[in-house]
Structure 1
Amino acid sequence: MDRISALRNVEEALADFESGETDLRATERRVVNVLRTYATEFEDEELSVYRASGTEQADGVVVVAESEGQARERVAERVDGEASGFELCEVR
């Protein structure tokens, strides 16, 4: 899924919410699913998608980065911790 498709899908979810066709919970699920699909199908020659696991705070955190080192730093920033104590795997 490219960025434009993702944005259109999010816009459709918001429009359905605004019109009363869906509730907040359903809208949140749709938006999260769009983002997950976008992240796992992310195509950029210089960037990769990484998922953290291991520590409770880092488990499931997904970031886009140029390298594993940069991904480790980005995860650490999000979990207010050091760039250690968790494992990374490239999502493809």
Structure 2
Amino acid sequence: MDRISTIRNVEQALRAFEEGEADLAATEERVLATLRTYATEFDDETGLGAYAGRGDEAVEGVVVVAESRAAARERVAEHASDPPESFDVERLG
């Protein structure tokens, strides 16, 4: 899913919420699903990719965009709560 499609899907979710067609929980779920799809299908012509932390509870589920595994590892560590000394990153998509 490209950036424009992602933004449109989020707009549709917000519109449904504003019009009373969805409650907050359903809206959050829809927006989260849209963002997760965008992240896991992330394909950028600049060489960036989506990476997820693996191997320790503190980094599991932390997804970042980076130009390399090493850069992704640094970003995951920055965003994780109490990151361990050793963990892996996996490229998504």
TM-score (norm 1): 0.90
Instruction: Say whether 1:18 aligns with 2:18.
Output: yes
Q: Which residue of 2 aligns with 1:79?
A: 80
Verify the 8 A CA contact 2:6 2:35 in the aligned structure 1.
yes
Task: For 1:4-83, list aligned pairs within 5 A.
Answer: 4-45=4-45, 46-81=47-82
State the distance in 2 between where 1:69 and 1:82 align.
15
Verify the 8 A CA contact 1:48 1:90 in the aligned structure 2.
yes
Give the AA of the match of 1:91. L
Q: Which residue of 2 aligns with 1:3?
A: 3
Which contiguous aligned blocks of 4+ residues in structure 1 show a shift greater than 3 angstroms?
80-84
* Deviation at residue 44 of structure 1 after TM alignment: 1.1
State the distance in 1 between where 2:81 and 2:51 align.
18
State the distance in 1 between where 2:89 and 2:74 align.
11
State the distance in 1 between where 2:81 and 2:11 align.
32
Deviations along 1:27-47, one digit per CA (max 9) or x if unpaired, are: 011001111111111111310
Verify the 8 A CA contact 1:72 1:88 in the aligned structure 2.
yes
Aligned CA-pair RMSD: 1.5
| Seq. identity, % | 57
State the distance in 1 between where 2:29 and 2:23 align.
10
- Corresponding residue pairs, total: 92
